[in-house]
Protein backbone atom coordinates (compact mmCIF):
# COMPACT_ATOMS: atom_id res chain seq x y z
CA UNK A 1 0.00 0.00 0.00
CA UNK A 2 2.90 2.35 0.80
CA UNK A 3 4.38 2.15 -2.75
CA UNK A 4 0.94 2.92 -4.23
CA UNK A 5 0.50 6.04 -2.08
CA UNK A 6 4.11 7.12 -2.78
CA UNK A 7 3.43 6.70 -6.53
CA UNK A 8 0.28 8.82 -6.34
CA UNK A 9 2.19 11.46 -4.35
CA UNK A 10 5.01 11.50 -6.94
CA UNK A 11 2.47 11.73 -9.76
CA UNK A 12 0.77 14.64 -8.00
CA UNK A 13 4.07 16.48 -7.54
CA UNK A 14 5.00 15.88 -11.19
CA UNK A 15 1.60 17.23 -12.35
CA UNK A 16 1.94 20.32 -10.14
CA UNK A 17 5.49 21.04 -11.34
CA UNK A 18 4.44 20.55 -14.97
CA UNK A 19 1.50 22.91 -14.51
CA UNK A 20 3.68 25.63 -13.00
CA UNK A 21 6.27 25.22 -15.77
CA UNK A 22 3.66 25.40 -18.55
CA UNK A 23 2.01 28.43 -16.95
CA UNK A 24 5.38 30.19 -16.71
CA UNK A 25 6.33 29.40 -20.32
CA UNK A 26 2.96 30.49 -21.77
CA UNK A 27 2.38 33.68 -19.78
CA UNK A 28 0.00 35.94 -21.71
CA UNK A 29 0.92 39.17 -20.01
CA UNK A 30 -2.49 39.81 -18.47
CA UNK A 31 -1.03 42.27 -15.98
CA UNK A 32 -0.55 45.64 -17.64
CA UNK A 33 2.54 47.65 -16.83
CA UNK A 34 2.02 51.25 -15.75
CA UNK A 35 -1.74 50.84 -15.53
CA UNK A 36 -2.29 54.01 -13.51
CA UNK A 37 -0.82 56.29 -16.19
CA UNK A 38 -2.74 54.47 -18.94
CA UNK A 39 -5.96 54.66 -16.94
CA UNK A 40 -5.44 58.36 -16.36
CA UNK A 41 -4.93 58.83 -20.12
CA UNK A 42 -8.18 56.97 -20.75
CA UNK A 43 -10.12 59.35 -18.48
CA UNK A 44 -8.52 62.36 -20.16
CA UNK A 45 -9.46 60.99 -23.61
CA UNK A 46 -13.08 60.43 -22.53
CA UNK A 47 -13.26 63.99 -21.17
CA UNK A 48 -11.89 65.35 -24.47
CA UNK A 49 -14.44 63.22 -26.38
CA UNK A 50 -17.30 64.74 -24.36
CA UNK A 51 -15.99 68.27 -24.89
CA UNK A 52 -15.76 67.68 -28.66
CA UNK A 53 -19.12 65.91 -28.78
CA UNK A 54 -17.55 62.93 -30.53
CA UNK A 55 -19.95 60.30 -31.80
CA UNK A 56 -18.83 57.09 -33.47
CA UNK A 57 -21.16 55.05 -35.64
CA UNK A 58 -19.89 51.48 -35.97
CA UNK A 59 -20.89 48.60 -38.26
CA UNK A 60 -23.90 46.65 -37.03
CA UNK A 61 -22.39 43.25 -37.78
CA UNK A 62 -19.59 41.30 -39.39
CA UNK A 63 -19.69 38.01 -41.24
CA UNK A 64 -17.35 35.25 -42.29
CA UNK A 65 -15.15 36.27 -45.22
CA UNK A 66 -14.50 39.76 -46.53
CA UNK A 67 -16.16 42.70 -44.74
CA UNK A 68 -16.28 46.36 -45.69
CA UNK A 69 -16.23 48.25 -42.39
CA UNK A 70 -17.45 51.84 -42.31
CA UNK A 71 -17.32 54.17 -39.34
CA UNK A 72 -19.14 57.50 -39.23
CA UNK A 73 -17.35 60.05 -37.02
CA UNK A 74 -18.96 63.32 -36.00
CA UNK A 75 -18.10 66.11 -33.58
CA UNK A 76 -21.03 68.22 -32.39
CA UNK A 77 -23.09 66.69 -35.22
CA UNK A 78 -20.64 67.75 -37.96
CA UNK A 79 -18.43 65.24 -39.85
CA UNK A 80 -14.96 64.78 -38.40
CA UNK A 81 -12.66 65.36 -41.37
CA UNK A 82 -9.04 64.50 -42.09
CA UNK A 83 -8.42 62.41 -38.98
CA UNK A 84 -5.83 59.66 -38.67
CA UNK A 85 -7.94 56.52 -38.19
CA UNK A 86 -6.54 52.99 -37.90
CA UNK A 87 -8.45 49.73 -37.79
CA UNK A 88 -7.40 46.65 -35.83
CA UNK A 89 -9.20 43.33 -36.24
CA UNK A 90 -8.17 40.29 -34.22
CA UNK A 91 -9.47 36.98 -33.01
CA UNK A 92 -9.76 36.70 -29.24
CA UNK A 93 -8.31 33.18 -29.08
CA UNK A 94 -5.75 33.21 -31.93
CA UNK A 95 -3.28 36.03 -32.58
CA UNK A 96 -2.02 34.65 -35.89
CA UNK A 97 -4.80 36.34 -37.92
CA UNK A 98 -4.65 39.79 -36.26
CA UNK A 99 -4.13 42.71 -38.60
CA UNK A 100 -4.10 46.48 -38.56
CA UNK A 101 -4.52 48.95 -41.41
CA UNK A 102 -5.16 52.67 -41.94
CA UNK A 103 -8.72 53.67 -42.80
CA UNK A 104 -9.42 56.06 -45.65
CA UNK A 105 -12.02 58.80 -45.66
CA UNK A 106 -14.53 57.97 -48.43
CA UNK A 107 -16.88 60.89 -47.74
CA UNK A 108 -16.94 63.63 -45.08
CA UNK A 109 -16.73 61.91 -41.71
CA UNK A 110 -17.02 58.35 -43.12
CA UNK A 111 -13.93 56.15 -42.81
CA UNK A 112 -13.68 52.77 -44.49
CA UNK A 113 -11.41 49.70 -44.57
CA UNK A 114 -11.65 46.05 -45.62
CA UNK A 115 -11.36 43.28 -43.03
CA UNK A 116 -11.15 39.55 -43.71
CA UNK A 117 -12.54 37.16 -41.11
CA UNK A 118 -11.16 33.71 -42.03
CA UNK A 119 -12.94 31.60 -39.40
CA UNK A 120 -15.71 31.59 -36.81
CA UNK A 121 -15.29 32.82 -33.27
CA UNK A 122 -15.22 36.00 -31.20
CA UNK A 123 -13.46 38.88 -32.98
CA UNK A 124 -12.30 42.23 -31.61
CA UNK A 125 -12.63 45.32 -33.80
CA UNK A 126 -10.76 48.37 -32.54
CA UNK A 127 -10.68 51.83 -34.09
CA UNK A 128 -7.80 54.11 -33.09
CA UNK A 129 -8.50 57.78 -33.75
CA UNK A 130 -5.96 60.60 -33.72
CA UNK A 131 -7.36 64.04 -34.54
CA UNK A 132 -6.00 67.53 -33.86
CA UNK A 133 -7.17 67.70 -30.23
CA UNK A 134 -7.94 64.07 -29.49
CA UNK A 135 -6.38 60.61 -29.38
CA UNK A 136 -8.79 57.84 -28.45
CA UNK A 137 -9.77 54.23 -29.05
CA UNK A 138 -13.10 52.46 -29.40
CA UNK A 139 -13.57 48.67 -29.33
CA UNK A 140 -16.36 46.27 -30.26
CA UNK A 141 -16.69 42.49 -30.10
CA UNK A 142 -18.41 40.49 -32.82
CA UNK A 143 -19.42 36.86 -32.54
CA UNK A 144 -18.94 35.33 -36.01
CA UNK A 145 -20.98 32.17 -36.52
Kindly list the distances between the CA atom of residue 125 and the CA atoms of 34, 41, 54, 57, in Å, as whole numbers in the listed order.
24, 21, 19, 13
Residue 45, pLDDT score = 82
**What phi and psi values does residue 93 have, to the nearest 5 degrees?**
-100, -10
Residue 29, pLDDT score = 63
- All domains of the chain in start order, with CATH: 53-144 (2.60.40.10)
Residue 10, pLDDT score = 93
Residue 15, pLDDT score = 94
Angle, CA of 38, 42 and 44, to the nearest 5°: 115
Residue 30, pLDDT score = 62
DSSP code of 96? G
How much is the pTM?
0.68
Beta-ladder partners of 78: 75
Rounded to whole angstroms, how far apart are CA atoms 128 and 87? 6
pLDDT 10s per residue in the chain (145 long)?
889 999 999 999 999 999 999 888 877 666 667 777 777 777 888 888 888 888 888 888 888 889 999 999 898 888 988 889 999 999 888 888 888 999 999 999 899 999 888 888 899 999 998 877 778 888 889 988 8
Amino acid sequence: MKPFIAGIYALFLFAMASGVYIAYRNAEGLVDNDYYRKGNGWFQAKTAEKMLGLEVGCPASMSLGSNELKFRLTEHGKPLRMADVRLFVGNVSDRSHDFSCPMRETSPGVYQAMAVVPFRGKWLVRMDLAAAQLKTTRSWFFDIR
